[in-house]
Structure 1
């Protein structure tokens, strides 16, 4: 009897391993409804219960002693009430089908179905797994004991059989519960591990796909400068035909040595290698390529436990950005130049004059040299506009501007339109006498243009009046001081008959050149 019981236990244990391996493990990652799962579990344990009957112990009166009821217990435990009824039905049918239609078969089949009903009822209760399993096992063993009581008239044999049944059911039940729990946890952990591996693999593939589509070349190397990862963009930037995975483990220096001819300056490649030697992040290193492209290189060391464990390099094609920056700088230069030019005459405007005046004042203050300023006004220009029209007036101002510009000879001399019909000239490092000579030359040159002005109250052609201011800049003065002197001198020239040059020296005395 003991040998057959051990055989039953061995079959149940082996079946548990096989069932968990092929069913629970195989269906862990598949979608299966609870009802369908319960049906499958009931069928599987129904097969187990039916198989155990072939290793039963005949105990008389047509009764067979085995652990088929444990199969129903396990089915109820894992498959719920549905699994319990399915497995009980399968075991009951197998008892009659395989061992004939006898009184004992009918009673045994009925007992198995009653066990199935009882386990199904218990399975619906929410209990802790350990208590539920022992309650299921105890209930099934109780009904088996009742069956023995009916089928074994010999009290001594009944006591022996009942003792074997209870001892085997309790010990086997506990062992099977612990084994099933262990297998269930093991396969659940394996399922989670496989799921985590799958998720990590998917995340890694997604990360690789994202990095391959980043519009920057990426290269990661380990502490020994061996390539760990390189994306497709970097390979495309340098014309490398090998796939990214083929470069894993290769030296970065070897990779760029193959493309040394692509660098406009060989030193740039060497400077690139030197970045990682310092162990400090670097950003904004520009590399000019032979084909005209410009790459921006950024480097960042990756630290782990206080040491450099990897090196991250990012290469970005900034050719278009740099070209646009260059165009923008050129446009700004042109715009700045145009902002300082008078739109009518083409010479410098008042804004540009103010900037140059400040600059020359400071320069002369440092050198201790004089700064002379000329202010010029076209005589009776309002009458000219009124009688000859504004278009002719504009043309007149343009001719005068060209003439004044031709009268200055030193590189630092500066001519500007001061506003309306007024002009100004800055003459750095020029004395008042030198300024008077330039002013007189301008007055005569304009007079020589012979621009008719029959409505002038001071002559028959266009003329100009010029005021001169001259100072040696000092720390206590301002650049507007010399401009005020020139303005006062111009006023004097206007009040004394126009078409003349008047200068105010440092002492405030007026000198007239005619």
Structure 2
């Protein structure tokens, strides 16, 4: 069935949109979500609300076009809302149903739907509230539940919810431990605010909710039960999860080299700074290794940039495989250069790891026929080691500078080798 939007109704009836909207607002502020822009939806509450609005419209004798709008609105639910005499305000009720009969979706005279007293107003609020409302005794026996709570928990009616929920103290939330924690806080502090948790529906789904509850006392100030509210925030939680995932992806993109899939220069700089401070506190050695692929420009000129990218990827994985400890970090430093951070590692152990990296790359046997060192891709490596001084200005940059000097010595010494520097 094609439902009419508010704008379409205004066109068909000749009544200004704002006037039409204002009339609906008098009877249910939440009616807006069912009728504006997207059109009236097939929702149990929308059927009741529309009948209430229709009945009010038919009583306004100042509107010449009231019969026209009634016809338009009634056409939204022709199979569920037969009308005997809209102009006279007759009962809008299916002949097979009785007004106020439990379990009937639509279906009371419009007069019966409008609150007459404070009690009726409260009842109207509870029944039509868009949040779940409940009340229970100290043993968790559910005494009151509104339709929204029943729907949130997957029941077709409030009667079914009250009948099937045996102990709300244990069964309010999806996890029993969470329910116990919630009610422990409630009975300790007499009130719980903005408690986020998950409820489990009858069909096995979980919904994220925001819960609030307060104890009920008798005239002797003793607890006799509690009441509370549940607001479904699943859409908000889904949006938060998506945002968190996007942020994690952005964090990863900003800290991982796109070609080699290992940490990038930014990540290395941040990590080295943290480890410098940690090793300074612990008075332990901190070593780094700078690795450079020998004659890589010649390699690119010989085999092409695509082959050069593949070579970088293979070398990166080989270096990463040698930085085995949880605190070790291998990263792409830039171009054909890589770096390894080795906390709690002295110069001798760092030299051993450096040689292991060099041999690992050699075993790949990546052809490099125009290399002046050997027929395969090789590495030159510079090692620097120091016990960080917390008073040292630009300490991490100094350590990198030492490794760069050592790398220069390795290249001057004939390449395909390791060289080291140590500050005592």
- TM-score normalised by structure 1 residue count: 0.49
SS of residue matched to 2:257: coil
Q: Is the 8 A contact 1:301 1:308 kept in 2?
A: no
Partner residue of 1:415?
A: 330
Residue equivalent to 2:318: 403
Matched residue, 1:501: 418
Q: Which residue number corresponds to residue 317 of structure 1?
A: 232
**Structure 1 stretches of 5 or more lacking a match?**
1-29, 32-197, 508-514
The whole-number CA distance in structure 1 between the counterparts of 2:116 and 2:265 is 70
Deviation at 1:482, TM superposition (A): 1.7
1:391 Cα deviation after fit = 1.0
* Counterparts of 1:469 and 1:301, CA distance in 2: 66
Q: Which residue does the alignment assign to 2:167?
A: 257
Instruction: Report if aligned partners of 1:211, 1:231 keep a CA contact under 8 Å in 2.
Output: yes
Q: Please name the residue that 2:147 is paired with.
A: 232
Q: CA deviation at 1:419?
A: 0.8
**1:293 aligned partner:** 206
Equivalent residues of 1:432, 1:469 under 8 A apart: yes
Aligned to 1:80: none
1:362-401 paired onto structure 2 within 5 Å = 362-401=277-316
Indicate yes or no: 2:403 matched with 1:490.
no
Equivalent residue number for residue 479 of structure 1:
396
2: CA distance between counterparts of 1:452 and 1:237?
A: 65
| 1:470 to partner: Cα distance | 0.5
Deviation at 1:259, TM superposition (A): 8.9
Alpha-carbon deviation of 1:431?
Answer: 1.1
- Give deviations 1:304-361, integer Å, cap 9, x for gaps: xxx9999762112344544554555455445534543222122222122223223322
Question: Contact between 1:299 and 1:311, CA under 8 Å: does it hold in 2?
Answer: yes
Q: Indicate the structure with greater helix content.
A: 1
- For residue 190 of structure 2, what is the aligned residue in structure 1? 279
Alpha-carbon distance in 2 for matches of 1:419, 1:383: 17
Secondary structure of the 2:270 match is helix
Q: Distance in 1 between matches of 2:282 and 2:120?
A: 71
1:201 aligns to what SS in structure 2?
coil
Larger Rg: 1
Q: Does 1:440 align with 2:351?
A: no
Summarize the Cα distance change of 1:211–1:353 in structure 2 as closer, same or farther, 3 Å threshold.
Answer: same
C-alpha distance in structure 2 between counterparts of 1:412 and 1:226, whole Å? 54
- RMSD, matched Cα: 4.4
1:263 Cα offset (Å): 4.9
Q: How many residue pairs end up in the alignment?
A: 304
**Distance in 1 (alpha carbons) for counterparts of 2:373 and 2:326:** 34
Is the CA contact 1:341–1:348 (under 8 Å) kept in the aligned structure 2? yes
1:308/1:222 Cα in 2 relative to 1: closer, same or farther (>3 Å)?
farther
Shift of the 440–206 alpha-carbon distance from structure 1 to 2, 3 Å rule, reads same
**Corresponding residue of 1:469:** 384
Contact 1:293 1:317 in 2 (8 A): no
1:270 positional shift: 4.9
1:439 Cα shift? 1.5
Q: Hey, what's the Cα distance between the residues in 1 that align with 2:348 and 2:178?
A: 59
Give the match's secondary structure for 2:272. Answer: helix
The CA distance in 1 between the partners of 2:356 and 2:177, in whole Å, is 58
- Kept after mapping to 1: 8 A contact 2:150/2:156: yes
- Mapped to 2, the partners of 1:447 and 1:243 lie a distance apart of 73
Does the CA-based 8 Å contact 2:351-2:383 persist in structure 1?
yes
Q: Take 1:285 and 1:256, find their aligned partners in 2: how far apart are those partners?
A: 23
